[in-house]
Each structure stands twice: as structure tokens, then as C-alpha cells.
Amino acid sequence: MTTLRDTEDASETDLAKHDEDDYVEIKEQMYQDKLASLKRQLQQLQEGTLQEYQKRMKKLDQQYKERLRNADLFLQLETEQVERNYIKEKKAAVKEFDDKKVELKENLIAELEEKKKMIENEKLTMELTGDSMEVKPIMTRKLRRRPNDPVPIPDKRRKPAPAQLNYLLTDEQIMEDLRTLNKLKSPKRPVSPSSPEHVPSAPIETPSQRYEARIEEGKLYYDKRWYHKSQAIYLESKDNTKISCVISSVGTNEIWVRKTSDSTKMRIYLGQLQRGAFVIRRRSAA
């Protein structure tokens, strides 16, 4: 009886030991299988054939291509914008150059016309006063030299400088002087005390009002108002002539105005505005 029980216990012990050996063997086999799988994946990764690697590489390639496409579109848009800005700036530069060229030409023409007018006024003044700018040669009498006389030494004295006329008056002042000279040169008829011409006339009243006029920073301050270039104005003179003009330029001591009727230019000095020789009024640009 005792032998049978011992046999059964030994059998159970052997069975348990056999099961434990099988478990260890299975566990070792699983470890070896996992290790072999990892080695195989590593080999495929190095060869570039691993499925997971190829999947992720495809996604990265799509992102790379999309980014390049967006960069190309951005470059195209920026290039078009730069070209448009270049064309715009070029047109603006050409227009400004043409405007400056026309303005320069107009200013030079106006200056030449002004100089021509000054020369004509000088000529008229000399004709009325009887003066002349020509230096007449001095007539000298030459005597015949005797045989024993020494050879005359030429005179090396400085020649007199030609007469010069300093033009310091304005056009209006010159015309007033010319009218006064014409009145003085015209012959006067004797008048009787009973004739109407003998009655003394009242003295001509001159306006004593003076206007405030100055130029600051390219703008004209006149009669408590500011005027600037390209502003439409009315120009009134002493004879109540009203001219529609546009201010073409503002200098340091004068302004240039352009008549709207015939586009001719006039120079108005600050002194004329201050004395009231010309009066400026605003008008609408329409």
C-alpha cells in the first residue's frame, strides 16, 4: 500500500517537472521569435523595405511637396506684386519728369519774356530821356610830326568802362514814370483864366492802405489768408481790372500767376501787394 502511494506521488512530481520544463521551453521560443522578428524589421529598415517606414516616408514626401508648392505660389505672387509696384513707380517717375520739364520750360520762357520786357522798357526810357548807352568816340586833332620831334608814346591809360543802367524799379513804377515824362514833354497850350482848363484839378488820391504780405515755406500770406501753388485767384489792379488767374509758383520775394484766358504768366512782387498795386481775391477752382 505504501509503495503504490509513493509511486503516485513520484508520478505527480515528474508530471509537474515536465510541465515546468515545457513552460520554460515555450517562453524561450517566444523570446527567440520576438528577437528574430525585431532583427528582421531592423534589416528591412536598413534596406528601406519596412512597410511602416515606407508609409511614414510617403507621408513626409507629401508634406515636403506641398510645402514646395506653397513656396512657389508665394514666390509667384510676390514677383507679380513687385512687378506691379515697379511699373507703377516707373510711370510716376516718368510723369513727374515730364511735369518738371514742362514747368522748367515755362519758368525759363517767363524769365526770358521778363528780361525782354525789361530791355524794351530800358530802350523806351532812353528814347524818352534822350540818353544813349553807346560810347561816342572823342574826336582828336592829329598834328604832323616834325623831323626832330621824338616819337610819341602811346597812351596806356585805362579805357573808361561803358555806362551801365541799373534796373531797380518794378514794371508798374517804370510805366508811371514814362507816363509822367510824356506829360512833361507834351507841349502845353496857353489857357485863359476863364477857360475850364484853367481850373485847378483836385489832386489824385493814392491809396494809403498797406496790406500784410509775406512768403513762408513756399506759401503766400496775404491779407490774413494763406495762398499756395495751383490755387485759383482773382487779381485786381489799380484800374479796377479783374483777371482770373492761377498761382503757378511761389518764390522768395515774388509769385508767378498764370492767366486762365490765354495762359500768359505775370510776376507779382511782395512790394506791389503790400502797396496795394495788386489785390488778390480767392475764387473757386471750378
What is the structure's pLDDT at 14? 66
The C-alpha cell at 164 is 551801365
Write down the mean pLDDT value for the chain. Answer: 77
Measure the CA–CA gap between 73 and 68, rounded to whole angstroms. 9
pTM of the model: 0.30
Residues 45-56: what's their mean pLDDT? 87
What is the structure's pLDDT at 24? 85
| pLDDT of 144 over the 70 cut | no
196 pLDDT tier (thresholds 50, 70, 90): very low
260 and 101 Cβ atoms separated by less than 8 Å: no
166 and 216 Cβ atoms separated by less than 8 Å: no
Residue 93 CA to its chain's centroid (Å):
9
Measure the CA–CA gap between 227 and 257, rounded to whole angstroms. 12
Which of 203, 226, 201 has its CA nearest to residue 213?
226
Measure the CA–CA gap between 45 and 204, rounded to whole angstroms. 116
CATH of segment(s) 213-282: 2.30.30
What is the structure's pLDDT at 199? 38
Work out the end-to-end distance of the chain between its first and last CA atoms, rounded to an integer number of angstroms: 140
What is the structure's pLDDT at 217? 87
What is the structure's pLDDT at 241? 84
Residue 83 CA to its chain's centroid (Å):
22
114 and 168 Cβ atoms separated by less than 8 Å: no
194 pLDDT tier (thresholds 50, 70, 90): very low
Sequence-ordered list of residues with C-beta below 8 angstroms from that of 281, at least 6 positions apart, any chain:
233, 234, 236
Buried b (16+ CB within 10 A) or exposed e, 11-34: eeeeeeeeeeeeeeeeeeeeeeee
Measure the CA–CA gap between 214 and 237, rounded to whole angstroms. 19
Q: 109-130, pLDDT tens digit by residue? A: 999 999 999 998 888 888 777 5
The C-alpha cell at 77 is 505672387
Q: 59-79, pLDDT tens digit by residue? A: 999 999 999 999 999 999 999
What is the structure's pLDDT at 200? 40
CA distances from 256 to 103, 190, 214, 230, 263 (A): 12, 47, 14, 10, 12
Kindly report the CA angle at 172 between 228 and 265, in degrees rounded to 5? 40
265 and 106 Cβ atoms separated by less than 8 Å: yes
Q: 3-state DSSP: the chain helix, strand, coil percent, rounded to 5?
A: 50, 15, 35
Q: 222-257, pLDDT tens digit by residue? A: 988 999 988 999 988 877 788 899 999 998 888 999
Alpha helices in 130-224 (DSSP H): 171-185
φ, ψ dihedrals at 66, nearest 5°: -65, -40
What is the structure's pLDDT at 92? 94
Measure the CA–CA gap between 255 and 270, rounded to whole angstroms. 8
Kindly report the CA angle at 79 between 75 and 84, in degrees rounded to 5? 150
Give the lowest-confidence range in 31-40, 48-57, 100-109, 164-173.
164-173
What is the structure's pLDDT at 197? 40
| pLDDT of 191 over the 70 cut | no
| pLDDT of 157 over the 60 cut | no
The domain limits of the chain are: 213-282
| pLDDT of 190 over the 90 cut | no
